[in-house]
């Protein structure tokens, strides 16, 4: 059994919606907070569509779908999270934005034992914990996109996270949600992104230098290495803006050339070519653009 009975999520983009969905499917009441009423409506629709897809593919019964959705409340005021046992921050991969969220959470969350978790994919947890008066109860709980499908979660205690907080978070993730946990030290990129992002950036540099086309780079890794997605298609799924943000965080920490964002990646982000969520990145997509920062199909 877990002592976590109510879960809050800040942000209802791809990651926040996925985290809310898996918690609700595990039987937990969930409150998701977005920045305004319009974003809250869009976030709720994102969750409904994901549950409908799971039902259409036979992974979820209609009654289970309806029960999961009934457990989810989508709000537009952070005060709605005041009495929750676990609150997961899942906003865009922007340090200033995340710091603001943690400052606000620290002011409104009243529970003496509430865990404040961050889903950051690259920012050191201690920086976010320092924005609160309770750094011992802040921990990194890094899910991967798509959250309902991928089983991995990186558990990232900071230097100030208490052993009890880390243990409670891990028990919830493994016991309640049925995910697999890897523990990692609190350094930029953690395990998965520290390995993955240099690979993605190398693919961008290969295209930038004219060594190979986008199609040939992706086809080479799919057919030659049995990867389910080529690196540039994966970058599109993650979001080029998110990929750049992770790379910048890694480079700022380690100052190693393989982490530096290539100019082509930066120019594409500046042009609004963000990948699947904008309809165009290294590839073009017919699907309706999706708002929110996506995350790796293995990372984030």
Which tens digits make up the pLDDT trace of 194-207? 999 999 999 999 99
Residue 1 resides in a domain: no
Instruction: Quote the pLDDT of residue 23.
Output: 98
Last residue of a domain, one of 159, 183, 207: 183
Residues 113 and 240 in one domain: no
CA distance 217 to 147: 27
Mean pLDDT of 183-199: 96
pLDDT at 299 over 70: no
Mean pLDDT of 188-196: 95
Residue 114 resides in a domain: yes
CA dihedral 129, 131, 137, 143 (to 10 degrees): -50
Residues 135 and 257 in one domain: no
Instruction: Quote the pLDDT of residue 287.
Output: 53
Catalytic residues: 121, 142, 154, 193
Q: Give, in order, the Cα–Cα distances in Å from 170 to each of 21, 142, 151, 296.
A: 18, 11, 13, 21
CA distance 18 to 153: 13
Instruction: Quote the pLDDT of residue 286.
Output: 80
CA dihedral 131, 132, 138, 142 (to 10 degrees): -40
Residues 76 and 224 in one domain: no
Residue 126 resides in a domain: yes
CATH number at residue 12: 3.40.50.720
Residues 135 and 204 in one domain: no
Element housing 236 (H / E): helix 231-238
Domain containing 171: what range? Answer: 7-183
Residue 284 resides in a domain: no
CA distance 139 to 167: 10
Residues 223 and 111 in one domain: no
CA distance 88 to 120: 10
Residue 261 resides in a domain: yes
What tokens appear for 72 in the block?
Answer: 């989810």
Instruction: Quote the pLDDT of residue 65.
Output: 96
Handedness of CA 19, 25, 27, 31 (dihedral sign): positive
pLDDT at 145 over 60: yes
Q: What is the mean pLDDT of the chain?
A: 93
What tokens appear for 126 in the block?
Answer: 């201690």
Residues 107 and 177 in one domain: yes
Residues 70 and 203 in one domain: no
Residues 263 and 245 in one domain: yes
Band of residue 270 on the pLDDT scale cut at 50, 70, 90: very high
Q: Give, in order, the Cα–Cα distances in Å from 24 to each of 94, 177, 278, 279.
A: 27, 9, 28, 29
Residues 271 and 206 in one domain: yes
The beta-strand segments (E) located in 249-291 are none
Residue 299 resides in a domain: no
Residues 173 and 206 in one domain: no
Domain count, the chain: 2
Instruction: Quote the pLDDT of residue 293.
Output: 34
Band of residue 296 on the pLDDT scale cut at 50, 70, 90: very low
Residues 153 and 66 in one domain: yes
Residue written as tokens 């620290």? 106
CATH number at residue 237: 1.10.1040.10
Band of residue 291 on the pLDDT scale cut at 50, 70, 90: very low
pLDDT at 297 over 60: no
CA distance 189 to 187: 6
pTM: predicted TM-score of the whole model, two decimal places: 0.89
Residues 133 and 210 in one domain: no
């Amino acid at each position: 059994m877990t002592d976590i009975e109510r879960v809050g999520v800040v942000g209802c983009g791809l990651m926040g919606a996925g985290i809310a969905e898996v918690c609700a499917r595990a039987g937990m009441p969930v409150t998701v907070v977005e920045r305004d009423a319009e974003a809250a409506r869009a976030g709720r629709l994102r969750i409904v569509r994901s549950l409908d897809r799971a039902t259409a593919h036979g992974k979820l019964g209609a009654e289970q779908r309806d029960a999961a959705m009934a457990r989810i409340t989508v709000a537009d005021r952070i005060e709605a999270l005041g009495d929750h046992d676990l609150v997961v921050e899942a906003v865009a991969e922007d340090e200033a934005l995340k710091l603001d969220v943690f400052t606000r959470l620290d002011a409104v969350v009243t529970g003496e034992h509430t865990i404040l978790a961050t889903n950051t994919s690259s920012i050191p947890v201690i920086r976010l914990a320092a924005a609160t008066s309770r750094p011992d109860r802040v921990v990194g709980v890094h899910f991967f996109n798509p959250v309902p499908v991928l089983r991995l979660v990186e558990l990232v205690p900071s230097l100030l996270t208490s052993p009890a907080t880390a243990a409670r978070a891990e028990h919830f993730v493994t016991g309640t949600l049925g995910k697999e946990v890897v523990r990692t030290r609190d350094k930029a990129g953690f395990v998965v992104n520290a390995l993955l992002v240099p690979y993605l950036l190398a693919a961008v540099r290969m295209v930038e230098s004219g060594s190979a086309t986008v199609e040939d780079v992706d086809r080479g890794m799919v057919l030659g290495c049995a990867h389910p997605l080529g690196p540039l298609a994966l970058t599109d799924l993650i979001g080029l803006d998110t990929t750049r943000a992770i790379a910048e965080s890694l480079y700022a920490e380690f100052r190693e050339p393989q982490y530096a964002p290539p100019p082509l990646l930066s120019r594409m982000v500046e042009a609004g070519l963000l990948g699947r969520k904008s309809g165009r990145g290294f590839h073009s997509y017919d699907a309706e653009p999706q708002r929110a920062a996506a995350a790796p199909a293995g990372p984030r």
